[in-house]
Structure 1
Amino acid sequence: MTSVGDDFSCSSLLPRERFPAFFFKFQFRNVEYSSGRNKTFLCYIVETQGKESGSFRGYLEDEHAAAHAEAAFFNNILPTCEPNLRYNITWYVSSSPCVPCAELIAQILQKNKNLRLSILVSRLFMWEEPEMQAALKKLKAAGCKLKIMKPQDFEYIWQNFVEQEEGEAKAFEPWEDIQENFLYYEEKLSEDFSTAGQVNAFL
């Protein structure tokens, strides 16, 4: 059994299965300027292959001033990796990881070769900063796949992680600029890595 998150401070964040539609519509909206969005929402799916094959899902949220959801996942949801299992993990996150979280994830992936992680993000966090670009390159080098959410990814979150409240439309209703903003962030991700020859690993 390999410890995943012992080197990092533990978080008291607790996993849950679904969150209110209001938070989805505000926190996951792929706007260019994310003013007022001081939380990170992380929806996860964990699939294991081996003697104990199975899957489970849930979500975490944090305040930026507290422990981050990415660290909480490895401390609370997957604190250890069984060496005889393969882990395929998918995250749907309201924003891409900050520098410390990106470096943390890269270290964990390097230590646990039986762990595969794909991260789909609504927005890019501080994508213009050189330190952020370098941290995302470390993620790629460690085997992480980072992608911008397409409209159908938001629909998947709506169907699988959002509470269907009374009076709410059951079907996902895309906002007006969802496709335009997806293309905007996809272009920024391409610009950040094309000069370094890294773009194909992220798209």
Structure 2
Amino acid sequence: MDPFTFKFQFKNVEYSSGRNKTFLCYLVDKGEVDSLMRGYLEDEHTGSHAEEAFFLQILSDYDPALKYTVTWYVSSSPCLTCASKIAEALKVRKNIKLSIFAARLFEWEEPEIQAGLKALHDAGCKLRVMKPLDFSYTWDTFVDNDECDLNLWEDCKDNYEYYQEKLGDILQ
């Protein structure tokens, strides 16, 4: 991923003007030797939302005999439609353990979005807001950064704490 794109799309600001795409960085461990997959998806290049595209493109060769550990670092939490589809997929595919770390919460004030996040949680998905350390890890793992360090924005930690508190309230 391009460094500018990452810095703009993953910035955990409360009002995300202009940030209307989802970027999804993924790690998939199928529990086999040399089975770790990593990469990223964005809405614009998948023909669907990045979350749905993950299941269609990245897990297209899904094997019910394997145990999948999947980690997503997303620029924003899933919309209601995606949350519902992910929750259904996890209910059907019990051998997938999904953790979603979101830079910011998408329309978290809306009751239907809150219901979608609860449905994900109830389906066994681990949900958390990205900590400052997660931004650095994602930068080092998924960004073409030419060995330059990520300088986190001034309010990164405060924004993390704000969103994590909101998510905690939603998932109670």
Name the TM-score, length of structure 2 as normaliser.
0.94
1:39 and 2:39 matched: no
Q: Which has the larger radius of gyration?
A: 1
Alignment equivalent of 2:165, drawn from 175, 184, 187: 187
Asked if structure 2 preserves the Cα contact closer than 8 Å seen for 1:150 and 1:179, the reply is yes
Alignment equivalent of 2:129, drawn from 145, 148, 151: 148
Structure 1 unmatched runs, 5+: 1-18, 199-203
User: Which digits, 9 at most, give the CA deviation of each residue in 1:136-169, with x for residues without a partner?
Assistant: 111111100010000000000110111124xxx7
* Equivalent in the alignment of 2:30: 48
Task: Select the structure that is richer in helix.
Answer: 2
C-alpha distance in 2 between matches for 1:148 and 1:38: 18
SS of the residue 2:152 aligns to: coil
Structure 2 unmatched runs, 5+: none
C-alpha distance in 2 between matches for 1:189 and 1:164: 30
Alignment equivalent of 1:94, drawn from 72, 75, 79: 75
SS of the residue 1:45 aligns to: strand
1:104 and 2:85 matched: yes
Asked if structure 1 preserves the Cα contact closer than 8 Å seen for 2:118 and 2:170, the reply is no
C-alpha distance in 2 between matches for 1:85 and 1:151: 32
Equivalent pairs counted in the alignment come to 171
Name the TM-score, length of structure 1 as normaliser.
0.80
**Partner AA of 2:165 in structure 1:** E
Residues 2-41 of structure 1 mapped to structure 2, 5 A cutoff: 19-41=1-23
Asked if structure 2 preserves the Cα contact closer than 8 Å seen for 1:95 and 1:125, the reply is yes
Alignment equivalent of 1:118, drawn from 99, 103, 111: 99
User: Which digits, 9 at most, give the CA deviation of each residue in 1:45-75, with x for residues without a partner?
Assistant: 000115x662110000114xx5100000001
**Partner AA of 2:127 in structure 1:** L
Measure how far apart 1:191 and its partner are: 2.2
SS of the residue 1:54 aligns to: coil
Measure how far apart 1:192 and its partner are: 2.1
C-alpha distance in 2 between matches for 1:138 and 1:93: 18
SS of the residue 1:57 aligns to: strand
* Equivalent in the alignment of 2:115: 134
Task: Select the structure that is richer in strand.
Answer: 1
Asked if structure 2 preserves the Cα contact closer than 8 Å seen for 1:109 and 1:115, the reply is yes
Runs of 4+ more than 6 Å apart: none
Sequence identity (%)? 56
User: Which digits, 9 at most, give the CA deviation of each residue in 1:118-150, with x for residues without a partner?
Assistant: 000000001111111111111111100010000
SS of the residue 1:164 aligns to: coil
Range that drifts further, 183-192 or 147-156 = 183-192
SS of the residue 1:171 aligns to: coil
**Partner AA of 2:39 in structure 1:** G
**Partner AA of 2:163 in structure 1:** Y
1:171 and 2:149 matched: yes
